């Protein structure tokens, strides 16, 4: 099922989105969202009687990580090569603060410290329960679902600092959405799901999750061997080749087959 976090102008709600997706990852016109009695990560999926037309609500980031967003760098060979980097021999981890998370149609703000801010379309997974030292073969037991992410990066600061913290940690640098899909399996992505990024309507990234260097179970095993993962934590799985700069006024859309489309505008802070 597709679980969204949304507002009708009042307090945020959680809901289950019904209806299909068209070829561009957009929901059907008659899609509705059925409200739930709280965050399903903590209270389960308990539908209420209220339902709303999806077109009449504002979608929010489908999860607000209480703890952390874990990024994985250079997890597509072609992307590592385009930036002149060698492939890592084990997953390359970094952290993004939860204050970097925004939702669909929120603005990505360009910070004054950087003159080279890049988009990075990515598959993201959401952790469903407290876990540590998860074997790869048990990874599905701890996954709540999957969503789409933009691992926004100030590339010039990344080169200057020699690490990822500042370059990837600005407010608004982790758009997530449009919802969490819970009924998929890591094998669905190992078999290959098309991931495309559009900049002002033009395709700039066109990859497949089959090209992940380290697959989803391996990532969960590696990350959880170093740190406890909490419900709502997000793991970004890496970006395919084609990353590039964004400027004030641009629109970035990231689509993953079967997951939908995440859209954000770019503005100057």
pLDDT in tens, 86-96: 889 999 999 99
Cα of first residue to Cα of last residue in the chain, in angstroms, is 36
What pLDDT sits at residue 107?
Answer: 98
Sorting pLDDT into bands at 50, 70 and 90, what band is 269?
confident
CA distance readout (Å), 83 to 91, 123, 149, 242? 17, 20, 20, 10
State the Cα–Cα distance between residues 70 and 96, nearest whole angstrom: 6
Give the model's confidence band at 29: pLDDT under 50 very low, under 70 low, under 90 confident, else very high.
Answer: confident
Count of Cβ atoms closer than 10 Å to residue 226 Cβ = 12
For 223-268, the pLDDT digits (tens) are: 999 999 999 999 999 999 999 999 999 999 999 999 999 999 999 9
pTM of the full predicted structure? 0.96
As given in the structure block, the two tokens for residue 55 are: 């077109």
Please name the residue ranges forming H helices in the chain.
40-43, 77-82, 155-161, 165-169, 186-190, 216-224
Q: Are 15 and 40 in contact (CB under 8 A)?
A: no
DSSP 243-268: -EE--TT-EEEEEETTTEEEEEEEEE
Name the token pair of 118. 């890049």
| Cβ pair 183, 140 in contact under 8 A | no
pLDDT at 161: 97
């Amino acid at each position: 099922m597709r679980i969204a976090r949304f507002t009708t102008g009042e307090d945020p709600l959680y809901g289950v989105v019904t209806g299909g997706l068209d070829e561009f990852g957009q929901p059907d016109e008659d899609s509705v969202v059925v409200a739930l009695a709280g965050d399903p990560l903590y209270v389960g999926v308990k539908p209420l009687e209220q339902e709303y037309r999806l077109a009449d609500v504002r979608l929010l980031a489908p999860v607000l990580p209480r703890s952390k967003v874990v990024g994985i760098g250079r997890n597509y060979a072609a992307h590592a090569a385009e930036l002149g980097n060698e492939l890592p021999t084990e997953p390359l981890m970094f952290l993004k603060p939860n204050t970097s998370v925004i939702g669909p149609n929120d603005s990505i703000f360009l910070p004054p410290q950087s003159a080279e801010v890049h988009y990075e379309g990515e598959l993201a997974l959401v952790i469903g329960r407290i876990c540590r030292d998860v074997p790869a073969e048990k990874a599905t037991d701890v996954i709540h679902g999957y969503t789409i992410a933009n691992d926004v990066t100030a590339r010039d600061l990344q080169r200057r600092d020699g690490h990822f913290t500042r370059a990837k940690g600005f407010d608004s640098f982790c758009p997530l959405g449009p919802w969490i899909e819970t009924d998929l399996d890591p094998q669905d992505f190992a078999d290959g799901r098309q991931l495309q990024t559009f900049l002002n309507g033009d395709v700039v990234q066109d990859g497949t999750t089959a090209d992940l260097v380290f697959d989803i179970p391996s990532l969960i095993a590696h990350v959880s061997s170093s740190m406890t993962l909490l419900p709502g934590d997000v793991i970004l799985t890496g970006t395919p080749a084609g990353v590039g700069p964004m400027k004030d006024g641009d629109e970035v859309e990231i689509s993953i087959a079967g997951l939908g489309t995440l859209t954000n505008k770019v503005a100057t802070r």
